[in-house]
Amino acid sequence: MVGLGNPGTKYAATRHNIGFMVAEHVAASHNISLKKKGYQGVYGVGRAATQETTILLPHTFMNCSGASVKAAYKSLGVSSGDLIVISDDLDLPFGRLRIKTAGGHGGHNGLRDIVAVVGCKDFIRLRIGIGRPERGDVTGHVLSRFATDEQKLLPQLLDTAVAAVEKILVNGATEAMNAFNNYNLLAEQ
């Protein structure tokens, strides 16, 4: 399982780091310490939702995530169908989740690099909606912190994303898609 984001405190609470946030919440929920250094990032190993799991946070910066993922992927002997990549998605409104089992990068530079460097497209993606700015700088938007009203809902979104990951691990991607692809946090408020 890979959470995508950028290392360092400067980026810690930004929209682009929602992948890191979800992976960290999965780790915390299952008492998996993310303190080992390797694979050009930090990682931890343990049982998450009854499955032996390695959780990786690449420290190569988002646009170069492929090098870190490839190092872990090859070393651990993971098959592409067992790789879960968690990332932000500009094209999903804030509070929406989308699980896919294959496909392209959808314009996401971290996913683009993973596809190019690892050389496969058939891994599981959990995309977390961060919304697209109405106009203006997309880079500034993804590297900005969540708005105050979004910050209030962020814990619930992270909990739901953790539940989606657990569903993938226990029941597989298809059941997780059926359960979470229509999830809309804002509709539940």
Please report where in the chains the tokens 């959780």 appear, as a residue.
Answer: 55
What is the rounded CA–CA span in Å between residue 123 and residue 116?
13
Contact (Cβ atoms closer than 8 angstroms) between residue 139 and residue 164:
no
Please report where in the chains the tokens 């592409």 appear, as a residue.
Answer: 80
CA quadruple 67, 177, 95, 45: dihedral positive or negative?
A: negative
User: Which two three-digit tokens encode residue 60?
Assistant: 């190569």
Q: Given 16, 25, 30, 105, which residue is catalytic?
A: 16
Is 25 noted as a catalytic residue in this protein?
no
For every residue of 84-134, DSSP letters joined together read EEEEEETTS-TTBEEEESS---TT-HHHHHHHHHH----SEEEEEE----S
How open is the CA angle 97-17-137, to the nearest 5 degrees? Answer: 90
User: Which two three-digit tokens encode residue 57?
Assistant: 């946070």
Give the residue numbers annotated as catalytic, written as ranges.
16
